[in-house]
Each structure stands twice: as structure tokens, then as C-alpha cells.
Amino acid sequence: MRRRILIFIAFAAALVALSGLSLMVGRVWAPWSAWTDRSDPRWAIIFDLRLPRTVLALMVGAVLGLAGAALQGYTRNPLADPGALGVSSMAALGAVMTLYFGAGAAAPWVISAAAMGMAFLAVILLLLFAGVGSGLVTFVLSGVILQTLAAAGVALALSLAPNPWAVNEIINWLMGSLADRSMDEVRFAAPFMAVGAALILLTARSLDALTLGETTARSLGVDLRVTQLLLALGLALTTGASVAVTGVISFVGLIVPHLVRPLVGGRPGALLLPSALAGAALVLAADILVRLTPAAHEVKLGVAMAALGAPFFFALLVTLRRRLV
């Protein structure tokens, strides 16, 4: 218990430090003196540009880390992740469809509704294709099917896009970024993410019971249908809301649980909150780094996370293969 408290304190301290650094660094350095002087031009940069970006990075990282830990715990599969298994791609397809038909520009809430709806459908299809406790190959192939379906839909939208603006908007959603976000996005996504995270946290006891097998879990009073519904709704709300405001940011849910598991143990329920904190720290740190890249244009956060996550995914596959041989 004491160790868990120390871990939470360490994560909280890291988040506070990263949040302060996020408000300071960028193309323009903003020292502490600029935080309290409203006449300083950098004050607007801090509170109008960097503060919403920082808060959104914390929110998105937390829900993606939480979603990855829950999905890995439910399926007992170390490769499970909303991004790697096509849930984020399907959510992006929903957002892309609204951009293609112009509905997103007329009513921004439509983008979020479409993204969350497609994320919910993706989770349901993933569970139907792979099943609970399926093997690595079956689960990965199920994710490949969803990703292929989403990629085909996005490619069709790009090829038939009515104007260059639609093409540019679609590409931006696919690449994922926190740049130029405001408190409007924060206020819009926060309720959906909060409800989704709460639904996922409600499955903690069931996830622990499922480590003993479905039959044992049922004997302990776990209703698997309720667990599936809570998890599907939670993943749809968290992943859908994340994609709706930032685009596709992959591999957070895959990386974070593996980094946290050695610290808190393998019990799925105990892994949820630490994964949320670690996910927030990872996304915020990555966003700080992309702002510091010496390039004419800022590297998209989704691209940076993919560059980090792809080697991690490959190394994880190699490790699992060695264990199975």
C-alpha cells in the first residue's frame, strides 16, 4: 500500500512539473514573470494557447492510457490497444465522414458524435471477431481487419473529396495534433471523457475476476454482459472524444500499461489509475518535445507517437514470440 502511494505521488509530481514546463516552452520562451503580468504579450500565449493545449494533453493521455489498460485486462492480451487494434482508426473514419459531407463544419458536435459512434461500433466488432481471451494472432488479425476497413473508408473520402479544404482537414485529423486548440475543445471533450473514464473504472473488479477465467468470474458474481457494455461504452466515449478533438494519437494505450505494470503489479484493476496518470505524462512530454523540434513546422503529435510506438510494438512482439517458443 505504501509503495502504491509513493508511486501516485511520483506521478503527480511529474505531471505538475511537466505541466509547468509545457506552459513555458515553445517557439517563445515564457518565464515565470510573464505568468503574472497581463501586459506582457507572452501572457496571452501562456493562457490562451498553451494552457488549453496542456490540459487537453493531460486529458487525452489519461483516457488513452486508461483505455489501453482496461482493454489489455479484459482480453488478457498484451497487444490490446485502442489505436493498434483499429478503434482509433474507426473513430477517425467517423470524424472524416462528417468532414467529407460538410456536417462537421456546420455543427462541430456532429464530429464528436460520429467519432464516438464509430468507436463504439469498432469495440463491438473487435469483441465479436476476437472474443474474450482470444489468442494473440486472432486478436491482432481482428484489429487489422478494422484498420483495413477504416483505411479504405478514409482513402475513399480523400479520393472523392469535393475541395482542397476537405482534403486538408481529413489529413490533419489523421495525423493528430494538439496545436491551435482552445478551451472550447477542452470543455466539449471533458464531460464525455469523464463519463467514459468512470465507466471503465467501474469494471476494475470484473477485470480482476476475469484473470481467473470466465467461469470463475461468473461464480464470483460478475455479469460479463454488463462488463462488456460498460467497457464498450467507456472505450467509445474516451477514444471517440479524444479523436474528435485531437485526431488519431496511437500507441499510448499500448505503451503505458507495459511501463506501469512492473511498478504496480499485474492485477488489471490496480493498473487502471496508474496507467491514466502515466498516459497523461507520456502525451504531455511528447507534446513538449514536438514543440521543440527545430523545423519550420511543428511535427504532428500523432506522427511522433507513431514513431515511438512502432518500435515498441515490434520489440513487444519479439519478446512475446521468444516466450512462446
pLDDT digits (tens, 9 = 90+) for 121-135: 887 887 777 665 555
Instruction: Give the position of cell 469483441.
Output: 127
Instruction: Give the position of cell 473508408.
Output: 153
Q: Is 172 exposed, middle or buried (0-12, 13-18, 19+ CB in 10 A)?
A: middle
Q: What is the pLDDT of residue 292?
A: 85
For range 294-311, the mean pLDDT: 81
Task: Give the span between the Cα atoms of 33 and 45, in whole angstroms.
Answer: 13
Task: Give the span between the Cα atoms of 7 and 194, in whole angstroms.
Answer: 23
For range 294-309, the mean pLDDT: 81
Contact 97, 114 (CB under 8 A): yes
Q: Which domains are assigned to the chain?
A: 2-324 (1.10.3470.10)
Task: Output the nine-digit C-alpha cell for 96.
Answer: 472524416
pLDDT digits (tens, 9 = 90+) for 252-263: 988 899 899 988
Provide the greatest CA pair distance for the chain: 65
pTM value is 0.87
Give one DSSP letter per residue of 238-253, joined into a string.
HHHHHHHHH----SHH
Task: Give the span between the Cα atoms of 236 and 90, in whole angstroms.
Answer: 10
Neighbouring residues of 156: CB distance < 8 A, sequence distance ≥ 6: none
pLDDT digits (tens, 9 = 90+) for 206-255: 999 888 887 888 888 888 778 888 888 888 889 888 888 888 888 898 88
Q: What is the pLDDT of residue 75?
A: 80
Q: What is the pLDDT of residue 200?
A: 95
Task: Output the nine-digit C-alpha cell for 62.
Answer: 489519461
Task: Give the span between the Cα atoms of 148 and 154, in whole angstroms.
Answer: 10
